[in-house]
Amino acid sequence: MIKELLPGIEPFAPENIIVFGVGLLAGTGAPGASRLSIDSLNPLTGGIGSSNCGGGFASELRSTGIDHLLIKGKSSRPVYLYIDGEEIIFKEAGHLKGQSTVKTEEIIKRELETEDIQVLSIGPAGENLVRSACIIVNRARAAGRCGLGAVMGSKNLKAIVVKGEGTIDVRDKKSFNNKVKYLGKWLKEDEFNGSRKKYGVYCYHPWGGMDETPYRNFQGGQVPPPEKTARILPDVFLEYKKETKGCSNCPIKCWSIHQIDYEGETIICEGLQGNDPHNFGAKLNIFDARGILKGHALCNQLGLDTDNACGVIAWAFECYQRGILTRKDTDGLALEWGDQEVIFALLNKIARKEGIGKHLAEGSRLAAEVLGGAEYSINIKGQELMESLRASVAWALGTAVSARGGTHTRGAVIETRLQNLSPEKCKNIFGVDKLEDLHSYNDKEKLVFFFERVEAMLDCLGMCMFTNSLRVDMMMPQDYAELLSIATGWEIDKIEFMKMGERIHTLEKCFNVIHQGWTRIDDYPPERFFNEPILNGPRKGQKLNREKWSKLLDRYYEIHGWDRETGWPTEEILKELGLEDIACWLKK
């Protein structure tokens, strides 16, 4: 993609491309190899827009013989792409305009007279070019962040429908199946994964060990009192759980399906995420399980990324709290923390760009340029934050430097999952003698460097990150390398595996340099995390330290072989990674 897109192309321009990639192990039967990667220009940041989702689409697409699908241009009318074996055609989609992702899938299956297809679609948010719109697979698996649903909408592409009939062969079938069987049993019997199967993705105390939340738009990050927290713990959601599903080739099966009755309406919520108690709960002050379930279901239907949607709404609520916005600005709505009906109304307004929704659909950074309140826009590189950053330095660093802008799934470290590591394992895995306190700045760049490379490769392989879960007692680089070697016949060890991950991460960094020219200053967290401490709890008074952060960035750039002044990859490291041609682009 870096060679296909010239600098200056806008995310919604017909010249922009969007690429759907299935991953090297998708469809092979490897445990968790169900992931689809989607990449384009990011409408929120202007840099790399990269997302990833599960379900059955990736395996189905690969069974048609297609590994990557690249779409460029713009249709003159709404269409959906239908791939059936060797047949690839565009079909009229005018009748699908304005439909939810759930309805879109229902209508297409009825028209094609089959359930045996996989559907990827956008909702009203994508059609209306909401900058944070996501793409939904199988009614509930979200390719979130980065506004890729809006890129599809800009091309008048409502959906992609796939029906495959082929099979995926591996080089050494017997050895591969033996390895898959061993790993699948291991993952299935893991205690943490057992909790995921029981509860769904949200299977743990939402703030266990971190002692910080994004409470009311990160105003102090305090953990809510127990009487509030108790209302949205996993056991409460278990009361509404009706079914468990799994993505293709998944031994874990964390796809929870909940059903609630909300004011006389039966609502089905699929795929509740661990982010939801942070977004709807702490950030917007909804301490009601049913309200969180409805909010998540509504985002699925509208095609809204929950992190970005809740982030911009939290910004608006704080601006209302501080008198920057009034009812004249909010279509008469009182933006009071925890008012569920107002929050649901705003989600609909954003998706349809109605009233104040026109501004909120642009994200808080751009909305603040028109309405004020820029200091309360908690974003990195233009993308809203889900993540609180004061309590854990490794978590903060991985989030802040993420190539796609302010997200934790590309290198942020959950340090509490590593606390029981022996000194020998610390040295062997991370190259550090011991793991220090969460708020220590020592060696945290080494933890992030490790997980950046692992997660980049997981996306490349099409494997779910829950096969690793930011832990070192589940699948590790040597396991993924062995699977890949057996499947392809390539000779890959864990060192080469990690080098490949570094190459991917560096390419994304180069993409951002070429398209946005981001430098060192863009790898800093929002000012609030430096200036305003945690207000209560075990880490009361804690905040990020600017001087220590600067030295941490020095070490982070150094370990990558990047220039300390700019944060840009050097010619030397690009040559070392086999990316000499990219060095020419950077020189220009």
Beta bridge partners of 240: none
* 253/493 Cα distance (integer angstroms): 29
* Those residues with Cβ within 8 angstroms of residue 229's Cβ, 6 or more apart along the chain or in another chain: 205, 206, 207, 223, 287
CATH fold for domain 196-384: 1.10.569
Q: What is the 3-state secondary structure (H, E, C) of 419-477?
A: CCCCHHHHHHHHCCCCCCCCCCCCCHHHHHHHHHHHHHHHHHHCCCHHHCCCCCCCCCH
Residue spans per domain, the chain: 17-163, 196-384, 393-461+493-587
- Tens digits of pLDDT across the chain (588 residues): 888 898 999 999 999 999 999 999 999 999 999 999 999 999 999 999 999 999 999 999 999 999 999 999 999 999 999 999 879 999 999 999 999 999 999 999 999 999 999 999 999 999 999 999 999 999 999 999 999 999 999 999 999 999 998 889 999 999 999 999 999 999 999 999 999 999 999 998 888 777 788 999 999 877 778 888 899 999 999 999 999 999 999 999 999 999 999 999 999 999 999 999 999 999 999 999 999 999 999 999 999 999 999 999 999 999 999 999 999 999 999 999 999 999 999 999 999 999 999 999 999 999 999 999 999 999 999 999 999 999 999 999 999 999 999 999 999 999 999 988 999 999 999 999 999 999 999 999 999 999 999 999 999 999 999 999 999 989 999 999 999 999 999 999 999 999 999 999 999 999 999 999 999 999 999 999 999 999 888 889 999 999 999 999 999 999 999 999 999 999 999 999 999 999 888 887
State the distance between the two ends of the chain, measured CA to CA, in whole angstroms: 17
Q: What residue spans of 97-218 are helical by DSSP H?
A: 101-112, 124-127, 148-154, 173-189, 191-199, 215-218
Q: Which CATH number fits domain 17-163: 3.60.9.10, 1.10.3720.10, 2.40.110.10, 3.30.70.3270?
A: 3.60.9.10
Structure tokens at 95: 């009748």
Contact 549, 555 (CB under 8 A): no
10 Å CB burial of residue 521 (0-12, 13-18, 19+) is exposed
Q: Is 95 helix (H, G, I), strand (E, B) or coil?
A: helix
Coil, helix or strand at residue 206: coil
Tokens of 152: 């599809």
Query: Which fold is adopted by the domain 393-461+493-587?
Result: 1.10.599
Q: What angle do CA 290, 228, 535 make, to 5 degrees?
A: 130
Phi, psi dihedral angles at 420 (to 5 degrees)? -95, 15
Pick the closest to residue 31 from 186, 170, 203 (CA basis): 186
Q: Please, which residues have CB within 8 angstroms of residue 470's CB and are 6 or more apart in sequence? A: 412, 413, 414, 417, 451
Whether 17-163 shares its CATH topology with 196-384 is answered: no
The structure's pTM equals: 0.97
Edge-to-edge strand list for the sheet holding 118-121: 87-92, 79-84, 157-163, 118-121, 135-137, 141-143
- Decide the pairing of beta strands 157-163 and 141-143: unpaired
Q: Which SS3 state, helix, strand or coil, does residue 394 take?
A: helix
Nearest to 300 by CA among 333, 347, 263, 345: 347
What b/e sequence results for 396-410 when a residue is b if at least 16 CB atoms lie within 10 Å of its CB, and e otherwise?
A: bbbbbbbbbbbbbbb
